[in-house]
């Protein structure tokens, strides 16, 4: 895993694009690492992290992807 994906601070500094993707409903959202730092802190890592989907009526899990090597790659 590239170092620029290690923390939200590293992702923000490198202007890495981040997306979340729900495994159940398929919703994909573009996220801002800089904005995520406000609630999770600069050293938070999205690598291997999942959280509940926030779409109404969905009980799926969301995982995260980062733009690297010209495409979005899962941070799993």
Cβ within 8 Å of residue 74, ≥6 positions away:
63, 64, 65
The reported pLDDT for the residue numbered 1 is: 77
Q: Quote the pTM value.
A: 0.89
Nearest to 10 by CA among 54, 18, 56: 18
Domain ranges of the chain: 3-74
What is the rounded CA–CA span in Å between residue 54 and residue 42? 23
What does each of the 76 residues of the chain score in pLDDT, given as a tens digit? 789 999 999 999 999 999 999 999 999 999 999 999 999 999 999 999 999 999 999 999 999 999 977 899 999 8
């Amino acid at each position: 895993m590239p170092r620029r994906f290690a923390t939200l601070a590293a992702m923000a500094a490198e202007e890495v694009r981040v997306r979340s993707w729900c495994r159940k409903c398929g919703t994909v959202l573009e996220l801002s690492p800089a904005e995520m730092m406000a609630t999770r802190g600069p050293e938070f890592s999205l690598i291997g992290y999942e959280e509940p989907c926030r779409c109404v009526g969905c009980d799926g899990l969301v995982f995260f992807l980062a733009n690297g090597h010209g495409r979005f790659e899962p941070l799993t």
